[in-house]
Structure 1
Amino acid sequence: MAEHNLLGKAGEDAAVQYLEQHEYTIRHRNWRKGHLELDIVAAQNGELIIVEVKTRTDTDFALPQDAVTPQKIRRTVIAADTYIKLFQIDASVRFDIITVVGKAGNFRIEHIKEAFYPPLF
């Protein structure tokens, strides 16, 4: 596995651990349906939380959340809609970003709740 893939997996592992420590229930990791993908699908207090995870070794070039472009938001919202319909979920939905910066074992985690809202298509 390439080094950036290992970093990404370690970042997602750290994000899941963070969410579990904050009393979120993890429903799915790396959920896929065709070309659609969601990094983490979690639940807390009757709400469905879709989490996009961005992992970087540093922030010298850009902030990790800057990689969540309008196109990525659109794809994430479409994937979330598909997920909700497939699993027949009747709950409010929130879109969060978790940034993970550093090296495995020494990550800084930032949880950005309500990081974006579904755009109108």
Structure 2
Amino acid sequence: MAIHNDLGRWGETTAASFLLEKGFKIIAKNYRNWQSEIDLIVTKDDMLIFVEVKTRTGTAFGMPEEFVNATKAKLVMRAAEQYIFDIDWEHDVRFDIVSILTLPDGSTDIRHIEDAFSR
């Protein structure tokens, strides 16, 4: 398996732990629909939140969250529509990004960007 796949899985696990510590409940991981995937689906306070996780080891090409472009957002929203339909969700929804940057000293910079697709 490629190193970037290992980094991605590590990032998703790290993001899930981070969100759990903030009081979110993990509902699903790696939800797939057609050609779309949602990394994490979580809830908090009657809000269903679809989370895209981006993990990088450096900023030479930009911050991790900058890699969520309009095409990726559209794919996530398409999968979210199906998930909402499948579970008959009737409350609010939101799309977030968890950005994880590993630093040279071995530490991590984790940023939770709420309502990221509306910006």
Q: TM-score, normalised by structure 1?
A: 0.91
Percent identity, aligned pairs only, is: 38
Q: Is residue 53 from structure 1 mapped to residue 53 from structure 2 by the alignment?
A: yes
1:57-96 mapped onto 2 (5 Å cutoff)? 57-96=57-96
Q: Deviations over 1:50-107 (max 9, x none)?
A: 100000001122111111111111111111101100111111001100001116x732
Secondary structure in 1 aligned to 2:66? Answer: helix
User: Distance in 2 between the 1:73 and 1:34 partners?
Assistant: 15
TM value normalised by structure 2: 0.92
Task: State the aligned residue count.
Answer: 117
Matches of 1:20 and 1:6, distance apart in 2: 21
**Gap regions ≥5 residues in structure 2:** none
- Partner SS state of residue 99, structure 1: strand
Aligned partners of 1:35 and 1:71: how far apart in 2? 12
Unaligned 5+ segments in structure 1 are: none
